[in-house]
Amino acid sequence: MKRLAPDADDTRFIRRVILIILIVALAVALYRIGTLLILAFGSILGAITIHAIADRLHRHLRAPRRYAIGLAMLAALAVTGFLIWLLTVQFGTQINALIVETPQLLARLATWMSQSAVGAKIVEAVQTGYAGAQATQDLGQIVRGGADLTLNAILLIIGAMFFAIEPRRYRDGLLLLAPRDKRDAFRDAFDDLGRNLRLWLRAQIILMILMGVSIGVGLWLSGVPSAAALGLLAGVSEFIPYIGPTVAMLPALGLAANAGNGPLIGAITTYAVVRLVQDMVVTPLIQDKVIAVPPAITLFAIVGIGMIFGLAGLIFAAPLLIAIFALTRTLYLRETLGENIDRLD
């Protein structure tokens, strides 16, 4: 007599409970290694950049594909090394002074703004929402985490090289997880994802260069100290839409306020004019074929991803959002619902 043997209903219930436990365990595991997954995504972006450079070398120099990828890796490393040299050697003293003096500069800026009733209300709201002591504490945590940041950067670069050498191997490995009759749809989705990220990266690099040069020249003409370093900071910050440029603007306004009313008015005018021209003219032309993500969704998604995954999530939130939109367009809207959505070239 098997009185304790489960019947068919019990068996289905047990299977469902086990499946739920496995799903929850997988979700917890993915959350715990979230930073590592974000870094892997950053490595994929690096691999896409390397292949974009390799394509141009292959097309213009007639270099064999294999050697073109090697040259592209060297070029990417050279550009990375050049940026590190700019940040640490050429503008290292200025950037270090900005980091050290930022709390005092912001305090002077707050004092200048408090001279008017509207400015005083803005300063009060900012101080209430995010106290200066907490900002200093967070900045200290970032400085203390320099070693982790360096290790993560090395991991990201090495991962990008591995992905760039054999991209099809990793894509085909992911396709094996999909049912056989669905693999063509997933293959098209991965190809569309790569094209979308490539177009976004190309547009973003152009915007970063234009923003950095424009802000640097404008601040220099306005008489703001450390204009070159502030221009470089403004250009790099464009990689994080909305939040990055806003954070990069605060030290510039603080330095300008410390230099006098003339440089401060010039700095405010520079940021306003450059942002207006870029948003109204440059960005629509450059990002003509890039997936258009609504600004509100972009802003809240960047903040949300940054809260969940920390600094790494904040840095790669924008391209991650582009990837989510690209996969949604391809796998859900086009392949599931049958919507007529064209592929990006």
pLDDT digits (tens, 9 = 90+) for 291-329: 777 888 888 888 888 888 877 888 898 899 999 988 888
Give me the pLDDT at residue 139, please.
45
What are the φ/ψ torsions at residue 291 (nearest 5 degrees)? Answer: -55, 130
For 174, the domain range is 35-334
DSSP label at residue 166:
-
Q: Is the pLDDT of residue 41 over 80?
A: yes
Structure confidence at residue 85 (pLDDT): 82
Is 148 a domain residue? Answer: yes
- pLDDT recorded at residue 315: 86
Report pLDDT digits (tens) over 145-188.
556 777 888 888 899 999 998 888 888 888 888 888 888 888 88
Percentage above 70 pLDDT, the chain: 78
Q: Which of 46-55, 140-149, 239-248 has the highest mean pLDDT?
A: 46-55
72 lies in some domain:
yes
Which of 96-105, 141-150, 227-236 is least confident?
Answer: 141-150
Closest by alpha carbon to 234, among 221, 252, 222?
252
Is there a domain that residue 168 lies in?
yes
CB 320 within 8 A of CB 305: yes
> What does the pLDDT average to over 134-145?
46
Check: CB of residue 102 under 8 Å from CB of residue 250: yes
42/63: higher pLDDT: 42
Amino acid 7: pLDDT = 63
Q: Give the residue-averaged pLDDT of 213-219.
A: 91
Least confident of 4-18, 201-215, 289-303: 4-18
Torsion sign (Cα): 197, 199, 205, 207: negative
Neighbours of 234 (CB within 10 A): 26
Burial class (CB in 10 A: 0-12, 13-18, 19+), 319: buried
Residue pair 227/196 in contact by the 8 Å Cβ criterion: no
- pLDDT-derived band at 215 (thresholds 50, 70, 90) equals very high
302 is a domain residue:
yes
Cβ contact 192:344 at 8 Å? yes
pLDDT of residue 132: 40
**What's the pLDDT band for 121 if we cut at 50, 70, 90?**
low
Name the pLDDT band for 131 (thresholds 50, 70, 90).
very low
The better pLDDT of the pair 55, 288 is held by: 55
Specify the pLDDT at position 105. 63
Res 6: pLDDT: 59
**What is the structure's pLDDT at 103?**
64
Residue 121 covered by a domain: yes
Angle at CA of residue 208, ends 83 and 144, nearest 5°: 50
Q: Which residues contact 164 (CB under 8 A, 6 or more apart)?
A: 46, 47, 50, 51, 54, 69, 72, 73
Distance CA 159, CA 41 (A): 9
Judge whether 170 lies within some domain. yes
Q: How does the average pLDDT of the chain come out, rounded? A: 79
> Rounded CA gap, 328 and 59, in Å?
32
One-letter amino acid at 70 equals G
Whether pLDDT at 241 is above 70: yes
Q: Determine the pLDDT at residue 47.
A: 92
Q: Is 273 helix (H, G, I), strand (E, B) or coil?
A: helix
| Cβ atoms 48, 326 nearer than 8 A | no
Burial of residue 66 (number of CB atoms within 10 Å: 0-12, 13-18, 19+): exposed
pLDDT classification of 134: cutoffs 50, 70, 90: very low
- Does 343 map to a domain? no
Q: Using CA of residue 245, residue 247, residue 252, residue 257, what is the dihedral sign?
A: positive
Which of 7-11, 28-32, 247-251 is predicted with the least confidence, judged by mean pLDDT? 7-11
Residue 13 lies in a domain: no
Q: How far apart are CA 144 and CA 140, in angstroms?
A: 6
Domain count, the chain: 1
pLDDT at 69 over 70: yes
Q: What angle do CA 231, 84, 82 make, to 5 degrees?
A: 85
